[in-house]
Structure 1
Amino acid sequence: MSTAQDARERREELVRARGRLVHEPPGTGRGAVPVRDVIRASWTRSLRSVDDDLAAAPLADESATAATWDASPLRRAVDVLGDELRRVADDGDLVVAVTDPAARILWTCGGRVMRDRAARVNFVAGGRWDESSVGTNALDLALRVRAPATVWAAEHYAPAVQGWVCWAAPVLDPTGLPLGVLDLSTTWERSHPLGMTTARALAALLTREVAASAAARPVASGPRALHLDLLGTCRCVLDGEHLRLTRRQLEVLALLALSPGGLSADALHDALYGDAPVSRSTLKAEVSHLRTLLRGGVGSRPYRLLLPVSTDVELVRRRLAAHDAAGAVEAWGGAVLGGVGGTDSPTLRRLEAELAAGVRAAVLSAGERTTALRYGQLRDADPLVVGDLLGRRDGSDHGAPTNLRPTPRP
């Protein structure tokens, strides 16, 4: 922008152009001001999913965001470069943000003025700045085009941030996939020609630090192996190291572990989300982050695990097949992902019903009081089964009671 007056006029033109898109029928609006193709396309998508009066970004679950940040390679990089990022924020009165691959903010720091403005629109840790949540913005755009992106003033779709200018650049893992973006934001009046140059440089420093950290990580000797406990208490162990995963990451990992032949993108999306309106890009971001956590252990086309994996689900199935009721009870543990609040995946819910019914039937068939008592100690056990077996006078009747029904899940 050549002068402050030129910038002000350009912003007003963009406000009018966006207003025509939102409020006028298609095909009207002669003499519309030029709008970048990438911005116009984003406005059109945003029109279908974002309220025109959106005041702030939605916030993701706080504990899930914290767990993702704790497990992310970006955290180690930010720990190393944090002083530099804070200096940039303070000197330029900017807000600096680092996101995950789905444009959810994981970490921020800011100068005094911008820190307050950022809090008002949820430009904070947990803020969801994907296009479908808040409309056109630089964080999502940089991830979408996999290149640095600027969104200036009223190029933003949401009026709440049309007074901002944002510069974002992807931060990459050692395989070249985006871990998220580094974003610098301030008011449009403070727009500076070096804003994008600075964002690029800081993103490059973070990318370099991620690579250095990965190279310094000791490589396990012998074959790599992954173990998952999915029933009741949840646990993911890679080469003896416990990984902290979010519930969604555990769901993706469980579906891949239970599909050794792999799953297409569409099949994995259906298995994970069912009919929920979740974009394919959200799934790609989840898989990308999981691939990083597993150190490249997830393949694509189809999505599949590239390392040996064992699960407690397999163990329960083997013991049921061997008619080992006591062993099946010990291996079962309860609901799928019960330790993190259960699962929304339709495929995993069907798996949960299958295993619960199988263990229930095995306990009834065995008719053993000791097995029934152990089964009754489990959180998701069916109390009718335990009551029936412990109420018998002898062990001759091993048939299931006719009034037996599954216990409703709390």
Structure 2
Amino acid sequence: MSALRKAHELFVCTKTVLPFVRPMIAGSWRRCATARVSCDDRRLPPARMGADELADYRAQHPLAPVLPVFDALLRDPADDCGHVFAISDAGGTLLWVRGRTGALDRAERMNFAEGVGWSESSAGTNAPGTALVLRQPVQVFSAEHYNEVVHPWSCSAAPIRDPGSGRIVGVVDITGDESAASPYALALVRAAAVAAETELIGRGKKTRPGVRIRALGRDEAVLEVDGHVRTLSPRHSEILVVLALAQGGRSAGRLAVDLSEVDLGMSTVRAEMSRLRAVLGDELLDSRPYALCRPVSADFTVMSTLLAEGRVHDAMAIYDGPLLPSSEAPFVREHRTALEQQLRGAVLASGDARLLRRWVSAGWGAADVTAWQALATQLPRGSAAHGAAAARARGLVDEPA
């Protein structure tokens, strides 16, 4: 048994990480253990959609037009080495898996196939799934995979970003023997991702301008299309936020769950979507599934991208308040909380007095004890500003519940 396999077995049994295990892999193993991901072949990743549904989904996916780019760059190198290459969506579902018949057959035996979910939470540590979590190129070698059934394989993957919004729209991956985790393989998937992004830029210039949405700090989203600005109703604002964030669109049933904790009924959702289509027009809103037909730039997605890139000052500058603050839609509420927690965590971790002061000066941060305490520690002791911040923190602690 190799040292890496022994390290994997030790972690599975005792949650102990040996020193030579790469930190990136150790972090992934811990996430998998916490999520109770299977570490053996008892549960392979599930198929997320059938052939017909997959065909419809792929036809509408933003990476469909650039599939020839991946074929041109990866087909020959993969075939020459007996590898397969795959393109997934932003949720880890494999959309296209290409390679010679023998390589495809071997990959399918571990359920590495089109329509199957290979997110980290479904399949354990693997290059495409872990690249989505870390938002960066990843290589996984042999027993670094969390699920033992994948130990004979190695892989390299790189995320692909939409040039307009900066959001990750998918991952390109090479999977095969040990050489699939070589520096050459990593450079190849990186080059393929960059080439795809460049092609998306070129295609974007040939299409009509995108759509801008502002929904931070307001209960009614503002939509700008082709220079025309309109304010949407609260319900239409919620739907627009869901469609802007959802990968691959939403069915009527899924929208009903996203929008309310009580059963809206699909007929109610369809009626609401008909009213929204009357406002937006067929050229902007598609159906089966419901999806926005044009590139979207939203203040809340831009802010998430800025935080992911460590640009906390820029993220704070566009944060006008919580996402649709009065909305009770479960999907909106979840993303509103997550976005505010991400920003708050970044501000606290920054140790930047200017960011902390801006946070506590806003309505959403005025009662944040931890932020006031952090601000006090960053100000010169004995200064009036330090005394005021410390006093405010003490006052909040002493306030009756």
Taking structure 1 as the reference length, the TM-score comes to 0.54
The 1-side partners of 2:332 and 2:40 are apart by 28
SS of residue paired to 1:183: strand
The 1-side partners of 2:127 and 2:147 are apart by 12
Q: 1:245 to 1:144 in 2, by over 3 A?
A: farther
Matches within 5 A, 1:121-200: 121-174=110-163, 175-188=165-178, 191-200=181-190
- 1:240, CA displacement in angstroms? 3.6
Contact map agreement 1:67 1:245 (CA 8 A) in 2: no
| Equivalent of 2:38 in 31, 51, 56 | 51
The 2-side partners of 1:136 and 1:101 are apart by 16
The 2-side partners of 1:245 and 1:170 are apart by 27
Q: Does 1:109 align with 2:114?
A: no
- 1:91, CA displacement in angstroms? 2.5
Find the counterpart in structure 1 of residue 395 from structure 2. Answer: none
The 1-side partners of 2:180 and 2:111 are apart by 21
- 1:241, CA displacement in angstroms? 1.3
Unmatched segments (≥5 aa) in structure 1: 1-8, 254-260, 285-410
Q: 1:231 to 1:45 in 2, by over 3 A?
A: closer
Contact map agreement 1:57 1:127 (CA 8 A) in 2: yes
Q: Does 1:223 align with 2:213?
A: no
Q: 1:266 to 1:74 in 2, by over 3 A?
A: farther
Q: Deviations over 1:14-51 (max 9, x none)?
A: 11111111113x56x8xx35101111111112123212
Contact map agreement 1:92 1:111 (CA 8 A) in 2: no
AA matched with 2:99: G
Aligned residues with identical type, % of pairs:
30
Q: 1:244 to 1:38 in 2, by over 3 A?
A: same
SS of residue paired to 1:73: coil
Find the counterpart in structure 1 of residue 57 from structure 2. Answer: 68
Q: Deviations over 1:303-332 (max 9, x none)?
A: xxxxxxxxxxxxxxxxxxxxxxxxxxxxxx
Q: Deviations over 1:176-234 (max 9, x none)?
A: 22111111111126654311111111111111111111111033755277988964476
SS of residue paired to 1:241: coil
The 1-side partners of 2:103 and 2:206 are apart by 36
AA matched with 1:223: H
Contact map agreement 2:69 2:192 (CA 8 A) in 1: no
Q: What's the RMSD between the two structures over aligned residues?
A: 3.9
Q: Does 1:203 align with 2:262?
A: no
AA matched with 2:133: R
| Equivalent of 1:38 in 20, 24, 27 | 24
Find the counterpart in structure 1 of residue 10 from structure 2. Answer: 20
Q: 1:218 to 1:274 in 2, by over 3 A?
A: closer
The 2-side partners of 1:268 and 1:247 are apart by 23
The 1-side partners of 2:90 and 2:99 are apart by 21
Contact map agreement 2:144 2:151 (CA 8 A) in 1: yes
Contact map agreement 1:148 1:200 (CA 8 A) in 2: yes
AA matched with 1:38: M
Unmatched segments (≥5 aa) in structure 2: 210-224, 240-251, 253-267, 297-319, 343-401
The 2-side partners of 1:222 and 1:159 are apart by 54
Bigger-Rg structure (1/2): 1
Taking structure 2 as the reference length, the TM-score comes to 0.55
Find the counterpart in structure 1 of residue 76 from structure 2. Answer: 87
